[in-house]
Structure 1
Amino acid sequence: MEKIVILTGAGISAESGLSTFRDEGGLWAQHRIEDVATPEGFARDPALVQGFYNARRVKAAKAQPNAAHEALARLQRDWSGEVVIVTQNVDSLHEDGGADSVIHMHGALSGALCAACGHRWTSPPEMAVGERCPACAAPSARPDVVWFGEMPYHMNTIYDHLSEASIFAAIGTSGQVYPAAAFVHEASLSGARTVELNLDPSTGASSFDQVILGPATETVPRWVDGLLAQR
C-alpha cells in the first residue's frame, strides 16, 4: 500500500487568519525574529517573548480549520495506506480539522517547556515571566516551540517515514528553512513521487516532480479528490 507523507507550513494556516513570517502587518512583522524566536532573545527579554507567544496563543485559539486542513484529514481517513502529516506549524488546526497523530516538528503553542529540566506540560493561556515548572519548581517556563538554532523534534521518526514514502507532498512551505527544506530530496532518494502545493513556487520548487499553484483551500481538496479517485 502506498504511504503518503505530507509536510505542511504556515501557508496552509494563512487562510485561517494566522500570519506567516513574511506577512506584512502580522505579529511577526512587529518583531525581529532574533528577539522573539531564539534562546538568546528569551534570555535577553523574557517578558517580550512571553508576551509575543501569549498573543499568538490567543490568535490561534480563535482560528478555525479551513478546507485544506479538512481535506488532509479526509485523506487520512479514506486512503488505503498510511498518511503521515508532519507540520512546521505550532497551531492545532490539523487536529481541529480531524487529523490524527500529527507530528509537530516545531512544537506547539499549547505546550510549556522547562528550560532547566526539560519537563513538558500543557501551557496556560497566558504564561508569565518566571512561571515555575511543576516538576522541578525552577522559574524557567518557556513556550514548547522550537526556536531558530534549536533542533526540531521527532527528526528520526520523520526520516523513517520519508524513507518509506511513495508520495511526498509539501504544502504551504517556503522551502527556506532546513532541515524541512531537504525533505523532498530525502523522499526522492527513496523513489517517492513528489509534489509541491503552494500559493507561489517555493525556493526549492524545481526539486519537485509536480508543482501546483493556488490557494491551499482550493488546491489541496482538489489534489486529495484526485488521489482518492485513483484508488
Structure 2
Amino acid sequence: MASSAPRPSVVPQANLESFQTHLNSSKRILALVGAGLSASSGLPTFRGAGGLWRTHDATSLATPEAFSVNPGLVWQFYSYRRHMALKAKPNPAHYALAELARKKDGFITLSQNVDGLSPRAKHPEDSLKLIHGSLFDVKCSDFFCNYHESNNYTDPIVPALAIPTDDVDPTTTSALQARELDIADESIALPEIDHAHLPQCPECRRGLLRPGVVWFGEMLPKKVMEEITQWMSATDPIDLIMVIGTSAKVYPAAGYVDLARAKGAKVAIVNMDKNDVPASGLYNGDWLFEGDAAQILPEILKSVIGEVQVGEDAAAEGS
C-alpha cells in the first residue's frame, strides 16, 4: 500500500496540539459517525438518490410494509444504492478510523452509515458497530428463518437486478453536475421483476432475501445495541468521544454524547457545518474541527496512527 502525500494543515495549531495531547493519553475512545464521514467518497445521500429514483419517496421504500407489497421495487432501489456505494471508494477518514482501531485497544466506532465503506477500509469488525445495518448484509425475510450473510459485494446480487444503465463514477464532476442538473437516468422505466427472479434464501428456500438495513419501524439490531451498552456501561471512564459527520441530535446518537460526557469524556466535533453540533452543545475544553472529515481526521489522529495508508478495499479484493 502506498502512503498518501503529506497534506497541508487544515486545523489551527493550538487546537491540534491540545487535541493530540488528550488523544495520546486517552484509553477509552468512542467515535460516533454519520453521512459526513463518507462525503468525500461522493455518495448521494439516502434521500438524495439520483436518476430515476427522484420520482420516488425514499422513505416510503424503506419499510417492511413496502417490501411485503412490492419487493421487486424495493430491491431495485437497494440494488441501485449497493451499485453506487460499490463504485465509491473509502476515503482517508475511513482508513484513519480503521488504523486508530488497530492502535488503540479501547476504541470503538458507532456508525449510522449503511454504505459499507468502513468495512471496506478494513476497520476491525470487533470495534465497528453498525447501528443501522449494512447495504451489503442480506438476511431472510421469512419470520422463522435466521439466515444472515455479511459483506456480500456481488453486483448485481441477482441478474434481474442489474442497473439498466451504468452511472458514471459518482465522485466525478460530471456525475455531480448530472445530479445537480437533474438529467441522469430519469427516462428509464423501472421493470417489473417476477418474485422468482429476486434473491432467494438458500437456507429455508421459501423466503426472499432482503437488505440487511434497519427500515423505518424496525428495532435497531439487538446484538449490536447490547455490545454498545456493555461498552458504555463499563466502570472505566470514557476519555473522548468524536462526533464525525453527524449532528447527533436524534436518539440514540444524542444519548451516546450525553452518556460519554457523564463518564468524563471530552467531545471533539468534526463537521462541515460549525453550527451542526450535538443538542448538548460544546463545553469548555471541547474541540470543533470545521471541514471535510477526509482531510481533518488523518491530521488530528496522526500522533497515534502516523501517515494514513490508502490501499485496496475489501470489495475490490473480493471482485
TM-score by length of 1: 0.85
| 1:181 equivalent among 247, 254, 263 | 254
What is the total number of aligned residue pairs between the two structures?
228
Structure 1 residue runs of 5 or longer lacking an equivalent are none
| 2:131 equivalent among 95, 105, 108 | 105
3-state DSSP class of the match of 1:132?
A: coil
Asked if the contact 1:35/1:49 (under 8 Å) is kept, the reply is no
Asked if the contact 2:53/2:77 (under 8 Å) is kept, the reply is no
Q: What's the counterpart of residue 150 of structure 1?
A: 218
The reply to whether residue 136 of structure 1 matches residue 201 of structure 2 is: no
Q: Which moved more, 1:45-54 or 1:207-216?
A: 207-216
| 4+ runs deviating over 6 angstroms | none
Q: What's the counterpart of residue 84 of structure 1?
A: 108
Question: Post-superposition shift, 1:176?
Answer: 4.5
The reply to whether residue 9 of structure 1 matches residue 79 of structure 2 is: no
What percent identity do the matched residue pairs reach? 39
* CA distances 1:93-143 after superposition (whole Å, capped 9, x unpaired): 223323212221211122111111232125453256453212211232111
Structure in which a larger fraction of residues adopt strand: 1
Query: In structure 2, what residue type is equivalent to 1:87?
Result: S
TM-score by length of 2: 0.64
Question: Post-superposition shift, 1:177?
Answer: 3.9
Give the 3 Å change call, closer, same or farther, for CA 50–20 of structure 1 in structure 2: same
Question: Post-superposition shift, 1:156?
Answer: 1.4
Asked if the contact 1:20/1:26 (under 8 Å) is kept, the reply is no
Q: What's the counterpart of residue 281 of structure 2?
A: 207
Query: In structure 1, what residue type is equivalent to 2:146?
Result: G
Q: What's the counterpart of residue 224 of structure 1?
A: 301
Give the 3 Å change call, closer, same or farther, for CA 30–195 of structure 1 in structure 2: farther
Q: Which moved more, 1:86-95 or 1:119-128?
A: 119-128
Asked if the contact 2:32/2:111 (under 8 Å) is kept, the reply is yes
* CA distances 1:184-211 after superposition (whole Å, capped 9, x unpaired): 1121122222222111133625434333
Between 1 and 2, higher relative CO (CA 8 Å, sep ≥ 6) is seen in: 2
Larger radius of gyration: 2
Q: CA RMSD in A?
A: 2.6
- Structure 2 CA distance, aligned partners of 1:202 and 1:137? 47
3-state DSSP class of the match of 2:215?
A: coil
3-state DSSP class of the match of 2:41?
A: coil
Query: In structure 1, what residue type is equivalent to 2:139?
Result: L
Asked if the contact 2:96/2:305 (under 8 Å) is kept, the reply is no
